[in-house]
C-alpha cells in the first residue's frame, strides 16, 4: 500500500469541499476501492470517507411511501431496517457477500461501482429506484450506462437512493460460490402500473431490463408465462465460471424462481 491521507467529514458539504480538491476520492465501505489501491490500480492522494456523515445513514420512509436509504448505509443495516417495508430488498442486501462485506460495503459504493455481477444494480433497476446525488435525481433507467459505468460525473456522490415499494417482488441469485457475487441474479417487481424485471451478472453491458419477460408477466404473473421465452447468448459474459450460453439459460431459470418466490 502507498501513503495517502484519509478524511472523515461529518456533513455532505464538508465531503464535497474535500472532494473538490485535487486527488480526492470518495470512500464507502472500501470493499472494492481498498483492494484496488493495494494493487495500485488507483492512487488517490486523499480518501474522503462518507461513512461518518449522519445524513447519509439509515433507512426511512418518504412522505410518498418510498423506502429511502442513505448513500453510506451498509448492506447489513438495509437487511435489518428494510425488512418490514421492502422485504425483497432487505433479503437481497442480507445475501450480499459475507458478514464482513455486509457490515462495511455500502449502497452508494455498490451503485457507484456498478460491478456487472453486483446485486444492488438489479434491485435499483428492477424497482425503478431514483439515485439521488449532491446535484440531481437520476432515475435508475438512465443511471446504468454499461459495465462499471454510470451516469455519475467526476466528484458527484450518491447521497440517497429511493425505492418505490412494489406490490410483490423477489430477487433470486445463482451464487458464484467463490465470491458470493451473482453468476446471474434476477429482480422481479410487480407494481400497480406494471412489472419490472432486471438482470445482473449476465451481460457484458452490465445490468439490463428483460422487456420480453416484463410483457409476458404483465399479462400473466406466473412462472409459466416465462416458459416460451428464451434469452440470446449474444453479448452474455462467458468466463471460467460459466459460458455465455449457461448464463443465458440461467436468466430464465432465475426469473421463474423470482416470480414464484414473489
Ligand atoms: C468478498 C466480496 C464479496 C462480495 N459479494 C457481493 C455480492 O454478493 N453482491 C454484491 O452486490 N456485491 C458484493 N460485493 C461488493 C460489496 O458489497 C460492495 O458493495 C462493493 O465492494 C462497493 O461498496 P463499498 O461501499 O465497499 O465501496 P468502495 O469500495 O468504498 O468504493 C467503490 C467505488 O465507489 C465510489 N463510491 C463509494 N461510495 C460512493 C458514493 N456514496 N457516491 C459516489 N461514489 C461512491 C468510490 O470512490 C469507488 O470508486 C462483494 C465484495 C467482496 C469484497
Q: Which pLDDT belongs to residue 179?
A: 87
**Does 81 share its domain with 61?**
yes
The verdict on 17 and 136 lying in the same domain is: yes
CATH number at residue 36: 3.30.465.10
Ligand 1, atom 50, residue with closest C-alpha: 97
Backbone dihedral angles phi then psi of residue 68, each to the nearest 5 degrees: -110, 125
Among 35, 74, 108, 109, residue to substitute to test ligand 1 (most atoms within 8 Å of Cβ):
109
End position of a domain, from candidates 143, 163, 183: 163
Considering the domain architecture, whether residues 138 and 175 belong to the same structural domain is answered as no
Residues 50 and 173 occupy one common structural domain: no
Exposed/middle/buried for residue 168 (C-beta within 10 Å: 0-12, 13-18, 19+): middle
User: Which atom belonging to ligand 1 lies closest to the Cα atom of 95?
Assistant: 8
139 and 36 in a common domain: yes
Neighbours of 143 (CB within 10 A): 22
Order of strands, edge to edge, in the sheet holding 194-200?
168-175, 182-191, 194-200, 208-209
Residue-level pLDDT at 1: 78
Question: Contact, 190 vs 217, CB < 8 A?
Answer: yes
CA of 255 to the centre of ligand 1 (A): 25
Question: Which pLDDT score, from 0 to 100, does residue 254 have?
Answer: 98
Q: Which atom of ligand 1 is nearest to the CA of 106?
A: 25
Do residues 12 and 99 share a domain? yes
pLDDT at 170: 98
- Spatial neighbors of 184 by CB under 8 A, at least 6 apart, are 173, 174, 199, 200, 201, 202, 247, 250, 251, 254
137 & 231 share domain: no
In this prediction, residue 140 carries a pLDDT of 98
Mutate which of 113, 178, 199 to test ligand 1's pocket (most atoms within 8 Å of Cβ)?
A: 113
Number of domains making up the chain: 2
List ligand 1's pocket residues with C-beta within 6 A.
25-33, 50, 71-72, 75, 96-97, 101, 104-106, 108-110, 112-113, 118-120, 157-158, 179-181
Last residue of a domain, one of 134, 163, 192: 163
76 Cα to the center of ligand 1, angstroms: 13
Domain enclosing residue 235, as ranges: 168-261
**Is 192 found in the same domain as 136?**
no
Supply the CATH number for residue 191's domain.
3.30.390.50
- Write down which residue in 98, 128, 163 finishes a domain: 163
Q: Is the pTM of this model over 0.95?
A: yes
Ligand 1 probe mutation, 12, 33, 79, most atoms within 8 A of CB: 33
196 in the same domain as 142 = no
Digits of tens for pLDDT over the chain (262 positions)?
789 999 999 999 999 999 999 999 999 999 999 999 999 998 999 999 999 999 999 999 999 999 999 999 999 999 999 999 999 999 999 999 999 999 999 999 999 999 999 999 999 999 999 999 999 999 999 999 999 999 999 999 999 999 999 999 999 999 998 888 999 999 999 999 999 999 999 999 999 999 999 999 999 999 999 999 999 999 999 999 999 999 999 999 999 999 999 9
Protein residue with least CA distance to atom 12, ligand 1: 118
Shared-domain flag, residues 44 and 146: yes
Shared domain for 21 and 137, answered yes or no, is yes
- What pLDDT does residue 193 have? 96
Same domain, yes or no, for 173 and 155? no
Amino acid at each position: 500500500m502507498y501513503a495517502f491521507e484519509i478524511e472523515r467529514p461529518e456533513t455532505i458539504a464538508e465531503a464535497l469541499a474535500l472532494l473538490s480538491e485535487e486527488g480526492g476520492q470518495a470512500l464507502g465501505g472500501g470493499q472494492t476501492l481498498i483492494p484496488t489501491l493495494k494493487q495500485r490500480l488507483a492512487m488517490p492522494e486523499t480518501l474522503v470517507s462518507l461513512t461518518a456523515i449522519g445524513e447519509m445513514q439509515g433507512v426511512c420512509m418518504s412522505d410518498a411511501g418510498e423506502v429511502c436509504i442513505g448513500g453510506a448505509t451498509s448492506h447489513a443495516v438495509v437487511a435489518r431496517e428494510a425488512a418490514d417495508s421492502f422485504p425483497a430488498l432487505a433479503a437481497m442486501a442480507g445475501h450480499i457477500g459475507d458478514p464482513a462485506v455486509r457490515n462495511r460495503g455500502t449502497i452508494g459504493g455498490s451503485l457507484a461501482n456498478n460491478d456487472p455481477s453486483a446485486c444492488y444494480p438489479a434491485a435499483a433497476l428492477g424497482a425503478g429506484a431514483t439515485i439521488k446525488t449532491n446535484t440531481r435525481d437520476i432515475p435508475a433507467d438512465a443511471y446504468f450506462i454499461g459495465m462499471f459505468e454510470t451516469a455519475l460525473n467526476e466528484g458527484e456522490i450518491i447521497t440517497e437512493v429511493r425505492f418505490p415499494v412494489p406490490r410483490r417482488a423477489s430477487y433470486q441469485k445463482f451464487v458464484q460460490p467463490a465470491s458470493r457475487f451473482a453468476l446471474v441474479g434476477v429482480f422481479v417487481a410487480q407494481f400497480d402500473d406494471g412489472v419490472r424485471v432486471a438482470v445482473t451478472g449476465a451481460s457484458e453491458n452490465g445490468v439490463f431490463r428483460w422487456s420480453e419477460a416484463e410483457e409476458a408477466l404483465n399479462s400473466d404473473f406466473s412462472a409459466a408465462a416465462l416458459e416460451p421465452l428464451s434469452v440470446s447468448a449474444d453479448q452474455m459474459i462467458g468466463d471460467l465460471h460459466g459460458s455465455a450460453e449457461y448464463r443465458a439459460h440461467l436468466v430464465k431459470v432465475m426469473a421463474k424462481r423470482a416470480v414464484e418466490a414473489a
